[in-house]
Structure 1
Amino acid sequence: MDTRHDSFYDFEDKSDSAGLADMPSSPLSSIPEDFELQQVPQDLQNTAMSGNSVVREESRLPSNSSSSVMSNIHIASPDNALLESPLFVRRSERKRKVPSRSSEPADTDDVFQAERIETPQTPVRPFKQRKTSQPRNTRNSRGEKIATASMSHVNDSFVSDEEAEENVLTTKQTDTSRVVKIKVNPQRLGQILDSTPPTPLPTSPFLPSPQQILQMSLDSEPNVLLPASQSAVDASEHDLVALSLAVTRKVPIDQKPSPRGQPEIWAENRHTLCESLTGLYASWQGSYYGKNGVAKAFMLDGNGHARDHLDENVIILRASGSMAKDGENGMKQREDQEPKHQYHAMVNAITQQSPIAVICGDKNSQVLSKMPHKYNSLDWYKATHVWTERDKFNVIKYRLEKLDPDTIAWWVPTHFEPVVELGALGSSLKQYCTSCKKQYDQVYLCGWLCLNSKCEKFWCLPDGSTPDAAQLIYDPRFLKQKTPWANEQAPISFRFPLYTTSAIAGEDYKAENLRGMTCPECGKCNARIKWEGWECSGCGFEHKPKITPLPAASIQDQNYPVTDAYPSSHDSALPHVKISVNFSHNYRWITYRFKVSATEEGEVVHGIANKVVREEVKGPNEMWEHLQTNCQGLVRRELSNALMNSFTMNYGMPYKFIAAGDSLPFTDAPWPVTEAVSRLNWADRITSGDTVRDKKKFNELYLVAYLQDQSMNYHDDGEKGLGSTVATLSLGARAEMVFRPKSFFFHGMKSIDYDRKRMTVMTKDEPLPEFPNYELRKQYLAEIKNANLPEGEEKERLAEMATALRAAYPPKQSCTRVEDWVKLSLGHGDIVIMRGAHLQKYYEHGVSPKGLMRYALTCRTVLPGHLKDSELPDYEVDLVQDEYDGSRIAK
């Protein structure tokens, strides 16, 4: 099994089996106990070419060792073996002599009987023998201590000519191979399988059916070839196929037992999980999460690979990516998975011994028990192997191993007993590919496979055939091998520490201090919904730290100086946008006009405030400081599958927006709210030329609090039932507000669902001269209007026109992207007014704050009849207030 990225050696694939001299050394050779790239000796290659050579490595030598030692080659007749693997080579990390006990016959007991079968001796060339290392004690499936040799995790290793001359066995020396006949104890195997047959697998002409395999395990004495150097106790208790089926047995989710414990943290939905584990797991859709080339976590839920595996210690999973929607059947792989960023990140996790967090969803069918919550933290894992398999497409697979295998997993059932302990079977079998010269573990019992996706023998058995799905039964020695790490301690707890307040003004508004909370009482993940702090919806725990207000003097940006004079503009607009400028009341009023149809214009007015406006009595400075400490009830509204990233509250007439929320009467609002309504009514009146004071023009105010890095993506304010004018007062940090035509209006194309299929058609909106393909669109619109086609034929013709429009774009011009037409730089105390119903219909705007904290107070007119009777407020929409007239800032 290649524990490194096979694409590191793309250049190797161009060389033949004899030309390895020019190859560079392994990129991992600087790591202790890793080999340099070495050549496989010709006699070993010739033996491997027969299709039956299997190399077993028990440990590794440091790359600077002068030589390495291999034990005898043990050859047995394949007629006596269920798994044909006659050639085994054992490598030790110390000088050793083969202990005499390795040639003694295995003991027998009531569970199995072992017979020793010797092969004719063949002379071999003398070689150096080295002293054996002491075996390490592990436990078998019944918890009894057994001796196993140290394991190797070296991959992509090559044997040099020098090593071959000294160490590789030839035909001058002999030893014996042992074929162990295993008689399985039916009672013991029945206990392991819990008298429940495993999930049926597809049958194949190459292997007996699973039922036949189990029956054979119980009624006969199958032969399993073992290396002479390994104790028969390691694998003789069970037939390997039956053992594999027992280890990988799957139970339907509704039949799974309850777990023995509870997860450290859990969540009811994806967005609370991601917000609470920010920095560790923040993938809102995918299973894998990594950042800057570092693998951090995996989510194991639905849509797993057929050969994914999850037991008490080991996980095998498919890499994420290369998936697409498959109608109503979920996700389906559409292309080969290529070794890209995620693959490289997993290789780094292996070589740098960096733990990876794993989270499990309640739709996962591999986990041993029924998950108690929607999402559950499992544990920290070590990545041990990365490789590529072949299904209909290439699939990248990972093997993960629990970081601390000595702790009992909380997700195992109460009376769970492992089929076999981790490490009890020793290390897996390994073999070199005769084509690409790379070494891989044997993953499946059907035989060794080259796992280099760039090799011509990729996914081929030794006889050249490719396995079908029924043959791919995991080798339990691969599944249950143990990978020691120098440090097996978890780096952090899944329960992140609670945020503590800072005495520095503004620190409370930073994004890293506003993530979700993993409840210290019950472990539930909770997003921060309320402005005042965190509340656990599971157990009721509250954490509401005191926020240090940010004074108005500290929000002054030195890059945008403001004085008593009329301020400068930092806006920009495209050339075809009409611009006019006026000065009054210490505001610079800039009006941007652009067409929304052939005969109508919309306009955006930007009022830029100076120092006089900001410091006015009950002006922006006082409003800003008061809102920070006297504005209760701000919350994050719920969207369809998440929460808004800003905090909001509505006053006056209810405003549904894209997310429903509560509304409060103006009588319950802090004074800056009613002051803002009065100021915005005044600003609309003086910039529109309307001398009639209409107190009812704005009857609603939507207050939004933006914290650091929070923003409002492109949207419009053209909901049905609203007036044609929208006005906003900006307080606090500077922000950028942009306007652009909507894509369907600008490009003249949109996607629709018609007759049970998705299609892109040309729109019937009149184009503007500034839009792409203006003349062609005018021509097509005239054709459609005069054709009088039935609906189906018209949709087909509009789809043909959309195809022609796309083809008419210059090669490097996007047919989907739209450039911003107007960019406003909003400062503290600035006002923005948008006028024109068609402006909201055909144009959209977005807002991106640039500092720590910003308030946006936006007024609209909710028209009569807009709301249903059940949506009408149970209070009077009272606008009684002081009428603002701008007299204190008149100039």
Structure 2
Amino acid sequence: MSPRTAVNRRKAKETPVRAGRVNKTKKEQTTIKVSADKLQLVPFSQPLEEVYGTPPAWSEGRQQLCDAIPWFRCTQGAMYHSEGFCYGFLIDADGGARSYLDEEILITRIGGCCTKDSEGNLILEKNQEAGDALVQSVIGSQKSKLAVGLVLGQKNKLLSRVLPYRYNIMDWFRVTNVWFEKLGQKYSAKVRFEKLNLAEKSWWGAKDSSLPLPIEKRDFETKPETIECESCFTESLRIYEEGWMCLEPDCIDFWKIDNASPPAELTFHPDFLNFRSPPDPAVQPSYSLVPDLLSTLDESATDVSTSRIAWKGIVCPMCFKCIRRTFWQGWKCDDDSVLDGARCPYQKFMKMTPVSLRVVLDHFELAPIKRAFLFDQKFSIPEVDDTSFFPYRKLTYQLEGVGSITHFVSNRTVNSRRNGPDELFARLQREDLGLKRFRIQSSLVAGTLTSHFAVNYGMPYKYVVSVDSKGFDEAPETMLQALGRLSWATEKAVMSSGGSYLPPNELLTLGYFEEMKIGFHDDGESSLGPTIATFSLGAKATMLIRMKYKYFNGTTQKVDGTAVGTLLQDDLVLKDCKFEDERRKLKDDLEAGVITREGYDRSRRDLFKGRKGKEAPTAIKMELHHGDLVVMHGENLQKYYEHSVIPENKLRFALTARFVKPDHVNAKEIQKGEFSLTPDQIYDGK
């Protein structure tokens, strides 16, 4: 912004500044008029200017930004707040009415309590109270003298300048003021941020603007006018040129100028815009503006390479882009818009020091001679067979009319054998399997990556696009050893249930670092056979099985979760579903001709009316230990049920084998699923 001389601003003649975008350059200043009851600003139609410099870090995606910048882990909304403090703030499309931005000051709404109208404008849905969590977080940072990091988005309507990237790190700011304003018939909170480092010119400033006034020549004495309200005796700053107003929402004179409502268009008072807080060394941030995570990671330590912090994002030291860890070994910058149009070559692959089983297994001797279970009566109790497949314990869970789940429980004898789980766990860490994290296709937040690494061998499977599916002829020995065990488990479980055995022709390997997991999902694609087998290596995990929402409730799920969704055309009325007895009787009456289809649907709507749907309770809970095998079998099991897996320690591998129907695969890909196991790779169940 332009230099300011140290003058008494109460006596100096000032040009009023309208609420909105202001460009303090050599060109004539421009104002924006906005409606008082709309939160969105009108678009700026004049040509955009170039900015003075470049941001210290940037991102083209929201997820990448949040993964690499610890003070802005906010995938939705404008503010990142935690435990009562505001750490980061985004200025993007929604700046709010009566907002302002220059090289040192930001004035904006705090956010929250809004909804969108038919035109996409944000409208206050309810009053934003002083006790609101967002408001309290901003006030908490102000009182604690905690600096707040700001991010400037390309969609912002306050700065009439060309920004280089979608999301641009600005600088550290302090919170100077928090107050309330009226918008239509409701009120919300506003905040004034002031740049902490006033000595240096801001990179987002206009290219031809003057350098900032030196600190020693700044005026830190002049302050905005403060008046005590005669009705509530609360002091409020004078913010607008049109007159002083009480800014206490509970006061009868709130948002009034001389006992009357203010005009729809308001002008910021120069004193409120131009005052600056004196330097205060106590105002400090909690983090570095651009963190250097890599310098804190000791690659020689076995407990670091797979720890939670090790799969956070970093800022590329060459092009300063925020990048996520998508590769098992580390980070690779994939930007192609820097370095004269060439792809940024930076990559950092860590020394993946193998993790010992001793680190991930809690048992005194790594594994018990026999694993004992005390089954929780809240969940399904399995049939226990200790003899048929000794030394394994075989636990079988039945899902009536749907299928079965067989759990082969391993032990010390099984795990310690040659080519057994202990050896396979070590080998998987030494080999380059090509494990990566992939984008979740149906995520609520675009660009979200899986919370695990994956690689697919054999027939293409929808989890990974076909070009990333490798043929079994490329699979390392370790994978084929695991496939031998999974083939054995699949055959034994299916034959025990009286089904037809289809040998697996696809193997998906997932790798989990600390705190990684896979949420509820199903493997119910039409291209798959009825059986899915999983082999666990490393850390213990908890596997949960539950009925899908629509089959449990009898309706589809509404987004807001309050209204009744669409009735199922064919309500199967599975065992232990919600209103099982009532739904079964209605279905029996329909099939017997006692009621018509219209009467059946009407009775179901009456049954569900006013009763909020909910997720089904967990039906089966299994503890998966190192060396265990689980086989889910049943044509409709994946259709009606879903499962999740939550590991508990530093490192775990899950290898899952399926049969992919050849007629669902491109003819050129079929050979990928062909394999022949050697005698050493064929498992004998011991």
Q: Counterpart of 2:259?
A: 464
Look up the match of 1:853.
651
Give the match for residue 619 of structure 1: 420
Query: Aligned partners of 1:621 and 1:183: how far apart in 2?
Result: 77
Aligned to 2:194: 401
* Match status 1:385 vs 2:190: no
CA distance in 1, matches of 2:544, 2:93: 40
CA–CA separation in structure 1 for the residues paired with 2:655 and 2:35: 64
The CA distance in 1 between the partners of 2:323 and 2:253, in whole Å, is 51
State the one-letter code of the partner of 1:441: L
CA distance 1:847–1:749, change in 2 (3 Å):
same
How far does residue 303 in structure 1 lie from its aligned partner after superposition? 2.2
The aligned amino acid for 1:288 is M
Separation in 2 of the partners of 1:727 and 1:694?
Answer: 15
**How far 1:309 moved relative to its partner?**
1.5
Decide whether aligned partners of structure 1 residues 253 and 586 sit closer, same or farther in structure 2, where only a CA change above 3 A counts. farther
3-state DSSP class of the match of 2:636? Answer: helix
Q: CA deviation at 1:884?
A: 5.5
% same residue:
27
Q: 1:750 to 1:666 in 2, by over 3 A?
A: same
Does residue 608 (structure 1) correspond to residue 403 (structure 2)? The answer is no
The answer for the alignment partner of 1:198 in structure 2 is 31
Confirm or deny that 1:516 pairs with 2:307: no
- Please give the per-residue CA displacement for 1:129-160, whole angstroms capped at 9, x wherever unaligned: xxxxxxxxxxxx974743449xxxxxxxxxxx
Q: Which amino acid aligns with 1:428?
A: P
Aligned positions of 1:115-514 closer than 5 A: 143=3, 145-148=5-8, 194-195=27-28, 197-201=30-34, 252=44, 255-277=47-69, 279-326=70-117, 329=120, 331-339=122-130, 340-392=132-184, 393-417=186-210, 423=219, 426-461=222-257, 463-470=258-265, 472-487=266-281, 492-499=288-295, 500-514=297-311
SS at the partner of 2:550? helix
1:405-804 aligned at under 5 Å gives the runs: 405-417=198-210, 423=219, 426-461=222-257, 463-470=258-265, 472-487=266-281, 492-499=288-295, 500-538=297-335, 539-558=344-363, 562-564=367-369, 566-569=370-373, 572=376, 574=378, 579-583=383-387, 584-595=389-400, 600-640=401-441, 641=446, 642-657=448-463, 662-689=468-495, 697-751=503-557, 760-763=565-568, 764-781=570-587, 798=601, 801-802=604-605, 804=607
Partners of 1:428 and 1:664 lie apart in 2 by 68
CA contact (8 A) 2:220 2:278 kept: no
Partner of 1:94: none
Q: 1:476 to 1:250 in 2, by over 3 A?
A: farther
SS at match of 1:612: helix
Distance 1:418 1:433 in 2: 40
Matched residue pairs, number? 650
Q: 1:869 to 1:148 in 2, by over 3 A?
A: farther
Residues 376/691 of structure 1: CA separation in 2 closer, same or farther (3 Å cut): closer
2:229 is matched by which residue type in structure 1?
A: C
Q: Which segments of 5 or more consecutive residues in structure 2 lack a partner in the other structure?
A: 17-21, 336-343
Give 1:265 shift: 0.3
Choose 1 or 2 for highest CA Rg: 1
After superposition, the C-alpha distances for 1:692-749 in whole angstroms (9 at most, x for unaligned) are 9999610000000000000000001111110000000000000000001111111112
In the superposition, relative to structure 1, how do residues 734 and 254 fare at CA in structure 2: closer, same or farther (>3 Å)? Answer: farther
Residues 521/865 of structure 1: CA separation in 2 closer, same or farther (3 Å cut): same
- Could you give the per-residue CA deviations for residues 575-626 of structure 1, whole angstroms, max 9, x where no partner exists? 665634343231111001122xxxx241111111110111011010110000
SS of corresponding position for 1:285: coil
Distance 2:171 2:373 in 1: 55
Could you list the per-position Cα deviations for residues 519-545 of structure 1 after superposition, in whole angstroms to 9, with x for gaps in the alignment? 111110111111121111232211112
Residue aligning to 1:210: none
* Partner of residue 881, structure 1: 678
Q: CA deviation at 1:321?
A: 1.8
Contact in 1 for aligned 2:153/2:167 (Cα 8 Å):
yes
| Aligned partners of 1:736 and 1:826 also within 8 Å | yes
Where does residue 822 of structure 1 map in the other structure?
620
Query: SS at the partner of 1:405?
Result: coil
The amino acid across from 1:439 in the alignment is E
CA distance in 1, matches of 2:232, 2:660: 72
Contact 2:452 2:511 in 1 (8 A): yes
Q: Residues of 1 paired with 2:501 and 2:567: CA distance?
A: 44
Rounded Cα–Cα distance in structure 2 between residues aligned with 1:254 and 1:869: 56
1:576 and 1:146 map into 2 onto residues whose CA distance is: 77
TM normalised by structure 1 equals: 0.67
Question: Which SS does the other structure have where 1:363 is aligned?
Answer: coil
Out of 634, 638, 641, the residue aligned to residue 843 of structure 1 is: 641
* 1:669 Cα deviation from its structure 2 partner: 1.4
Please give the per-residue CA displacement for 1:431-456, whole angstroms capped at 9, x wherever unaligned.
11112211010111221111112222
TM-score w.r.t. the length of structure 2 is 0.86
- Displacement of 1:826: 0.7
Name the CA distance, whole Å, in 1 between partners of 2:194 and 2:12. Answer: 30
Deviations 1:535-568 (A, max 9, x none): 112322111121111123443313897333x321
1:32-71 map, 5 Å: none
Give a deviation string over 1:456-486, Cα, whole Å, max 9, x none. 222222x22222422x221121122111242
Aligned partners of 1:420 and 1:552: how far apart in 2? 61
Q: In the alignment, is the contact (CA less than 8 A) between 1:571 and 1:824 conserved in 2? A: no
Q: Are the counterparts in 1 of residues 5 and 219 from structure 2 also a CA contact under 8 Å?
A: no
Which residue matches 2:19? Answer: none
SS at match of 2:584: helix
**How many angstroms apart in 2 are the aligned matches of 1:443 and 1:784?**
69
Give the Å deviation of 1:678.
1.1
1:788 CA drift (Å): 6.5
1:805 is matched with which residue?
Answer: 608
Report the CA distance between 1:190 and its aligned residue. 13
Q: Could you tell me how far 1:398 is from its partner in structure 2? A: 0.9
Structure-2 separation of matches of 1:319 and 1:660: 45
Farther off after superposition, 451-460 or 690-699: 690-699
**In the alignment, is the contact (CA less than 8 A) between 1:724 and 1:836 conserved in 2?**
yes
